[in-house]
């Protein structure tokens, strides 16, 4: 049972770290910033 | 040698129409199968409430991760409790936790590394609901990521696509119909397909023997088509129940080579389409030029083919030259090194299968890789370390494009040309992500190998002394990180240490690269196109093919040569120059 909990925790950490990596990559390529900018201009135009 | 040439010539003839078909699917164009599949797809979209809206690269990556995570946790649970579930005529117990962890990551990441024997470690339910199901979904995930990547890099569409829609389209239009046809062909050749339990028969010597059977053909077809590689039986495609004849051997070869090669053609056509959009009126002229590969696809296909053929030649010649120690012992070596090989396949088909299974990262084996000659065994290891010689399920193409970007960037630095690829400027932010993709692979292989040879827990699994022992370790982690799954065998790998470390190597080897590659695609998609000038480095000519091959080999030499020198190269020198 303890090994099961450890394995499930390890899987959760693995997937969680990939979410963090995706956030970091988004920051690097700056696509989030561009999306926000696009939204901003879109609102301004309206 | 002639049979290898004929086999490869037939492959080229097969891959072109399949690549064309995949291109139509990737770009949502009409195909002959639409009247049937459109209905099935629409029904599935309705049931799963998929609206088909375009996603950003990050939404795509998160959807991919979440879907995979749900399947991983469900699969882990089934493997643990398989002993009390249905379809278990052989009374197989639940799998041990670390082995379940390893197995579930292995199949979700399309690796199919097996630290158990399928016939005694899994119930029929686990074989079908976990293993075969994941063979479809993991392959579809890889192809979906590749399609999204191609859309982003070529910049043909507004977004990278919709992950759920892509997975369904790939499964219904490519994987399912192809695997049904291949499955029927394998049944015709004698591969069993039954839900009956193990058969007990009386042998010629009068003894009783248990013969394991099951739904083998169904698993076997997607095992190769999805570049999965995990066998129903521990002996994989070397057993007659998985690969009974030379025809079944060819069917398995083609089915693992077909889709990765077709991905390159799909990319080439998408890249040519980009040019077509740009030039507008010159559509007809360009259309004539992109009938087969597209100029960008042709470059990548040629570079991959050179890498593949160089490896195949070395592997074949090494095996053909035999083993000097066996010759000294009085064993005839005129047909080559036949240790660990099936007589019905011989040296040529074994060398071809070995090079193919590791280049296309399938991981299925029709001979014992541990018994290959040192140089013959180094080639599969090297191709997994490169991980871009066609590669599996679209991942090889994505990795090769990382090398293309690196080559363009290096050439730009050396000769002062503008680093541009497909009319998009390459900047520092993309190079940072390319570096992560390229470095994570050797880091996982060499880092975990170092850990294994340093610690007692790792050393316990190594069964061969000296250079061959290091080769075993390197092979295991190269196979894990490249999501290949073939085993050098001989390693006592069903222990806590090996299950957990190879599990982590498989996980990070797959997802870190995939996320960074999708981010690069997203970055390319957001960029404005620039016009080609005299200063732009051409990436669609013969010169660039050789630059690309050179960059791949230089990178491999810088990262892996010291480890290879201590393993297979040293073993070769000891064997031939004692």
Residue with tokens 């497909």: B422
Rounded CA-CA distance B536/B420 in Å is 7
User: Could you tell me what percent of chain B has a pLDDT over 90?
Assistant: 60
Which 3-state string (H, E, C) describes B427-441? CHHHHHHHHHHHHHH
Looking at per-residue confidence, does B127 or B302 come out higher? B302
Are B516 and A14 inside 8 Å of each other by CB? Answer: no
| Chain A residues whose C-beta sits inside 8 Å of any chain B C-beta | 3-4, 6-8, 10-11, 14-15, 18-19, 21-22, 25-26, 28-32, 34-35
B302 — pLDDT class (breaks 50, 70, 90): very high
pLDDT in tens, B280-293: 555 545 554 556 77
Confidence band for A36, pLDDT divided at 50, 70 and 90: low
Q: Do the Cβ atoms of B433 and A29 come within 8 Å? A: yes
Contacts of B512 in chain A (CB under 8 A): 18, 21
Q: Evaluate if residue A46 carries a pLDDT over 50.
A: no
pLDDT at residue B320 above 90? yes
B114, pLDDT greater than 90: no
B186 has a pLDDT exceeding 90: yes
Asked if A31 lies within 8 A of B507 by C-beta distance, the reply is no
pLDDT value, residue B430:
92
B452-505 confidence digits (pLDDT tens): 999 999 999 898 888 999 999 999 999 999 998 888 877 888 899 999 999 999
Contacts of B571 (CB under 8 A, 6+ apart): B374, B466, B467, B468, B471
For residue A34, what pLDDT is reported? Answer: 59
The share of chain B scoring above pLDDT 70, in percent, equals 97
* Phi/psi of residue B108, nearest 5 degrees: -75, -30
Q: How far apart are CA B46 and CA B33, in angstroms?
A: 20
Among the partner-chain residues B65, B98, B516, the one whose CB lies closest to the CB of A15 is B65
**Looking at residue B128, what is its pLDDT?**
84
pLDDT band at B54 (very low <50, low <70, confident <90, very high): confident
Does residue B400 have a pLDDT over 90? yes
A1-29: per-residue pLDDT in tens?
A: 899 999 999 999 999 999 999 999 999 99
Residue B430's closest chain A neighbor by CA?
A: A29
Q: In this structure, are residues B463 and B491 in contact, taking their beta carbons and an 8 Å threshold?
A: yes
How many residues are given for chain B? 578
B365 in helix, strand or coil? coil
Provide the residue range defining the domain that includes A38.
2-45
Confidence of residue B83 (pLDDT cuts 50, 70, 90): confident
ipTM surpasses 0.95: no
pLDDT of B156 over the 80 cut: no
Residue B65: which of A6, A19, A26 has the nearest Cβ? A19
Contacts of B72 in chain A (CB under 8 A): 11, 15
Buried b vs exposed e over B228-267: b needs ≥16 C-beta within 10 Å? bbbbbbbbbbbbebbbbeeebbbbbbbbbbbbbbbbbbbb
Interface of B with A (CB under 8 A): 56-58, 61-62, 65, 68-69, 72-73, 76, 80, 97-98, 100-101, 105, 429-430, 432-433, 500, 504, 507-508, 511-512, 515-516, 519-520, 522-523, 526
Mean pLDDT of chain B: 89
Give the pLDDT band (50/70/90) at residue B277: low
pLDDT at B391: 83
pLDDT for the residue A39: 57
pLDDT in tens, B338-377: 999 999 889 999 999 999 999 998 888 999 999 999 999 9
Whole-number pLDDT of residue B282: 52
CB-CB: which of B58, B432, B511 is closest to A26? B58
The larger pLDDT score, comparing residue B52 to residue B432, is at B432
Exposed, middle or buried, A9 (CB in 10 Å: 0-12/13-18/19+)?
A: exposed
Start-end of H helices in B109-245: 118-121, 124-125, 133-154, 163-170, 176-188, 216-225
Q: Is B439 helix (H, G, I), strand (E, B) or coil?
A: helix
Would you place residue B554 in the very low, low, confident or very high pLDDT band (cuts 50, 70, 90)? very high
Q: How far is Cα B142 from Cα B135, in angstroms, rounded to an integer?
A: 11
Average pLDDT for B402-427: 89
Mean pLDDT of B225-230: 84
| Of B49, B48, B68, the residue nearest B515 (C-alpha) | B68
CB pair distance less than 8 Å for B58 and A8: no
Interface test with A, best of B76, B522, B525, B527 (most A CBs within 10 A): B522
* pLDDT, position B528: 86
Question: Smallest Cβ distance to A34: which of B98, B511, B526?
Answer: B526
Per the model's pLDDT, the better-predicted residue between B556 and B198 turns out to be B556
The total number of structural domains in chain A stands at: 1
d(CA B468, CA B377): 10
With CA atoms as reference, report the closest residue to B474 among B358, B395, B367, B393: B358
Residues B72, B106: Cα–Cα separation, whole Å = 10
- Is residue B488 within 8 A of residue B471, CB to CB? The reply is yes
Percentages (nearest 5) of helix, strand, coil residues in chain A: 95, 0, 5
What mean pLDDT is predicted for residues B256-277? 86
């Amino acid at each position: 049972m303890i090994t099961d909990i450890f394995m499930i925790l390890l899987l959760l950490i693995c997937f969680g770290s990939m979410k963090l990596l995706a956030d970091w990559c988004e920051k690097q390529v700056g696509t989030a910033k561009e999306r926000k900018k696009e939204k901003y201009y879109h609102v301004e135009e309206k | 040698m002639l049979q290898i040439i004929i086999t490869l010539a037939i492959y080229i003839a097969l891959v072109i129409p399949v690549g064309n078909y995949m291109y139509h699917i990737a770009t949502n164009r009409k195909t002959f199968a639409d009247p049937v599949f459109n209905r099935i797809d629409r029904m599935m979209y309705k049931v799963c409430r998929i609206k088909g809206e375009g996603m950003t690269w990050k939404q795509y990556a998160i959807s991919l991760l979440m879907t995979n995570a749900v399947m991983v946790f469900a699969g882990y649970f089934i493997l643990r409790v398989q002993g009390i579930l249905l379809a278990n005529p052989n009374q197989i117990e639940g799998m041990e936790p670390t082995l379940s962890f390893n197995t579930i990551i292995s199949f979700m990441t399309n690796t199919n590394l097996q630290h158990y024997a399928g016939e005694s470690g899994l119930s029929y339910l686990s074989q079908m609901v976990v293993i075969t199901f994941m063979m479809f979904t993991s392959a579809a995930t890889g192809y979906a990521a590749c399609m999204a990547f191609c859309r982003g890099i070529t910049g043909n569409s507004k977004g990278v696509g919709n992950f759920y829609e892509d997975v369904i389209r790939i499964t219904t239009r490519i994987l399912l119909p192809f695997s049904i046809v291949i499955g029927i062909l394998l049944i015709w050749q004698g591969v069993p397909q039954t839900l009956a339990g193990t058969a007990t028969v009386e042998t010629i010597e009068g003894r009783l023997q248990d013969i394991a059977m099951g739904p083998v053909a169904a698993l076997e077809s997607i095992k190769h088509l999805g570049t999965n590689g995990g066998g129903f039986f521990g002996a994989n495609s070397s057993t007659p129940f998985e690969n009974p004849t030379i025809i079944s051997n060819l069917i398995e070869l083609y089915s693992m080579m077909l889709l990765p090669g077709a991905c390159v053609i799909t990319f080439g056509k998408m890249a040519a389409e980009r040019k077509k959009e740009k030039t507008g009126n010159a559509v007809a002229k360009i259309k004539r030029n992109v009938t087969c590969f597209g100029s960008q696809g042709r470059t990548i296909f040629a570079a991959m083919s050179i890498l593949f053929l160089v490896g195949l030649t070395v592997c074949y010649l090494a095996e053909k030259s035999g083993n000097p120690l066996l010759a000294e012992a009085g064993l005839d070596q005129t047909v080559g090194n036949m240790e660990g090989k099936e007589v019905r396949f011989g040296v040529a088909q074994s060398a071809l299968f070995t090079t193919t299974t590791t280049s296309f990262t399938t991981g299925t084996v029709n001979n014992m890789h541990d018994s290959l000659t040192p140089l013959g065994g180094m080639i599969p290891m090297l191709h997994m370390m490169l991980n871009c010689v066609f590669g599996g399920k679209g991942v090889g193409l994505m990795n090769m494009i990382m090398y293309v970007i690196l080559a363009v960037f290096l050439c730009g630095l050396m000769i002062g040309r503008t680093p541009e690829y497909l009319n998009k400027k390459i900047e520092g932010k993309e190079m940072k992500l390319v570096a992560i993709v390229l470095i994570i692979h050797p880091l996982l292989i060499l880092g975990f190998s170092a850990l294994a040879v340093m610690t007692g827990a790792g050393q316990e699994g190594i069964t061969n002394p000296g250079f061959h022992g290091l080769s075993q370790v390197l092979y295991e982690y190269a196979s894990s990180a490249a999501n290949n799954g073939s085993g050098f065998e001989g390693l006592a790998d069903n222990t806590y240490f090996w299950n957990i470390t190879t599990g982590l190597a498989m996980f990070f080897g797959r997802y870190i690269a995939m996320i960074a590659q999708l981010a690069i695609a997203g970055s390319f998609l957001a960029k404005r196109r620039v016009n080609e000038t005299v200063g732009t480095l051409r990436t669609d000519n013969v010169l660039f093919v050789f630059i690309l091959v050179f960059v791949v080999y230089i990178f491999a030499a810088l990262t892996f040569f010291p480890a290879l020198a201590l393993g297979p190269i040293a073993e070769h020198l000891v064997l031939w120059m004692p």
